[in-house]
Homo-oligomer: A and B are copies of this chain.
Amino acid sequence: MDPPLIPSLISASKCFGGWQKRFCHASTTLNCDMRFSLFLPPEAETGPVPVLYWLSGLTCTDENFVQKAGAQRIAAELGLAILAPDTSPRGPEVPGDPEGAWDFGLGAGFYVDATEQPWARHYRMHDYVTRELPDLAEAVFPLSDRRAIAGHSMGGHGALVAALRHPGRYCSVSAFSPIANPMACPWGEKAFSRYLGPDRRTWAAWDSCALLAKAQEKLPLLIDQGDADDFRKSQLRPEALQKAATAAGHPLTLRLQTGYDHSYFFIASFIEDHLRHHAKALG
């Protein structure tokens, strides 16, 4: 294996005694240049720290969580790094939605590995966030191999699927308002039919509800869902996940938060609980 190319620094700001940094690198998985954001807590100056991978939702980049969630305060206290990748491949060579929609293509990689053309050359976000990026980041930054994963909406789906597909790779997983059953919602059906093709049998490998039914590892799931979220019933379907978890005997804490919507104001309100949950599992 060739040594990973050092990512180039775009910006660095001191934040709660640690550093919020942003990098660019050439991704061999996605065949394009990618940006990612990394928060390093003060403890990272003296040795490797555990890391939370955060996957964002539709239309986001690596910057939304970093700017809006208020997570650095708690991550600094807990000695936790946070690595936030972008939500799709990027660049002029990457095809987007033919109609220019925001729910497919650029900003909407859905954290799957596409098998269909013209998507398969670039849209391999699952492999990128679960393998290439951790391999790179853990080689060049002061990060340990103790990993947690979390995300919001499309990124909540991505985090659950990452943990369910890779037993042992993550110490903990959580999600805000995840697309819990993408095989059975309009956003998921649009994305999967294009990235994965029309055969729905191949979709099950990327659906949390389907994966739960045969999960070997019973990693507890922590999920927060706002009950005033406009996407809850049509797109997110937390009840389907609850049903699948019950059927499989899989531990799930699903918290329905009264009055909260789909925004980052919701995430900011409860991110502390999630970071403490992850820190406890990371040890």
Contacts and interface: CB of A to CB of B under 8 A. Distances in A.
Interface string A62-83: 0000011010110000000000
Given A14-B260, A67-B67, A259-B14, A20 B265 contact: yes
Given A67-B67, A68-B67, A261 B13 contact: yes
Interface string A252-265: 00000001110111
A39 to B, nearest CB: 10
A1 B161 CA distance: 61
Question: How many identical subunits does the complex contain?
Answer: 2
A17 B266 CA distance: 10
B72 A268 contact: yes
Contact of A269 (B14, B228, B265, B269): B14
A228 B11 CA distance: 13
Nearest to A16: B269
A177 to B, nearest CB: 13
A266 B13 contact: yes
A263 B226 CA distance: 31
Contacts of A20: 265
B268 A228 contact: no
B70 A73 contact: yes
Interface in A242-283: 259-261, 263-266, 268-269
A271 to B, nearest CB: 10
A221 interface: no
Interface in A136-150: none
Contacts of A265: 13-15, 20, 72
5 contacts: A14-B265, A14-B269, A67-B264, A70-B268, A72-B265
Interface of A: 13-17, 20, 67-68, 70, 72-73, 226, 228, 259-261, 263-266, 268-269
